[in-house]
């Protein structure tokens, strides 16, 4: 969904889902391979924190773009380059 969407909000949701899948895999693989260590869990918490910061910044940018061009379509945002 991340590469095929045209709406910036859908792209943001897809990217967040992707990052959450990475965090879940880190915790699950760590639990399976090394149940006595918690490195995978710490990486998962770090990934969740980075994803939350990324979502906050991305929403601020999307709101600003919507105020500027009244659209959240990727094709419309692409026209801002010129």
For 21-76, write each residue's pLDDT tens digit: 999 998 999 989 988 888 888 988 999 999 999 999 999 999 998 998 888 888 88
Q: Tell me whether residue 51 is in a domain.
A: yes
Q: Tell me whether residue 73 is in a domain.
A: yes
Q: Tell me whether residue 14 is in a domain.
A: yes
Domain containing 46 equals: 8-81
Q: Tell me whether residue 39 is in a domain.
A: yes
Residue 39 is predicted with a pLDDT of 87
Residue 63 is predicted with a pLDDT of 93
Distance between CA atoms of 82 and 78, rounded to whole angstroms? Answer: 9
Q: Tell me whether residue 31 is in a domain.
A: yes
What contacts 24, CB < 8 A, 6 or more positions away? 44
Distance between CA atoms of 73 and 51, rounded to whole angstroms? Answer: 22
């Amino acid at each position: 969904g991340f590469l095929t969407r045209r709406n910036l909000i859908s792209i943001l949701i897809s990217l967040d889902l992707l990052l959450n899948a990475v965090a879940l895999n880190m915790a699950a693989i760590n639990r399976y391979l090394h149940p006595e260590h918690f490195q995978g869990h710490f990486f998962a918490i770090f990934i969740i924190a980075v994803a939350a910061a990324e979502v906050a910044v991305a929403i601020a940018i999307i709101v600003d773009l919507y105020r500027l061009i009244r659209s959240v379509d990727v094709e419309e945002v692409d026209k801002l380059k010129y």
